[in-house]
Amino acid sequence: MDRIWEEFLAPYDQAVDELKVKLKGIRSQFKIHKEHSPIEFVTGRVKSTASILDKAERRGIPLDKLEELQDIAGLRMMCQFVDDIKTVVDLLRKRKDFEIVEERDYVTQKKASGYRSYHMVLLYPIQTINGEKKVLVEIQIRTLAMNFWATIEHSLNYKYSGKYPEKIYERLQRAAEAAYLLDEEMSEIKHEIREAQAFFLKKEIGKDDKEG
Ligand code: 0O2
Ligand code: 0O2
Q: Average per-residue pLDDT in the chain?
A: 92
In the residue annotation, 138 being an active-site residue is answered as: yes
Q: What's the 43 CA to ligand 1 centre distance in angstroms?
A: 6
52: CATH: 3.30.460.10
Instruction: Give the chain's domain count.
Output: 1
Q: pLDDT tens, 154-192?
A: 999 989 988 999 999 999 999 999 999 999 999 988 878
Q: How many CB atoms lie within 10 A of CB 57?
A: 11
Q: What's the 121 CA to ligand 1 centre distance in angstroms?
A: 22
Q: Where are the beta strands (DSSP E) in 13-130?
A: 41-46, 73-79, 99-105, 118-128
pTM comes to: 0.86
Q: 182 is in which domain, residue-wise? A: 2-211
Angle between helices 166-211 and 82-94 (to 10 degrees): 80
| Marked catalytic residue, from 102, 138, 177, 211 | 138
Nearest Cα to Cα of residue 9 among 96, 126, 154? 126
Q: pLDDT tens, 202-212?
A: 676 677 666 65
The whole-number pLDDT of residue 57 equals: 96
Nearest Cα to Cα of residue 124 among 64, 200, 70? 70
Q: Is the pLDDT of residue 198 over 60?
A: no
Q: Is 11 in the pocket of ligand 1 (CB under 6 A)?
A: no
Q: Is the pLDDT of residue 66 over 90?
A: yes
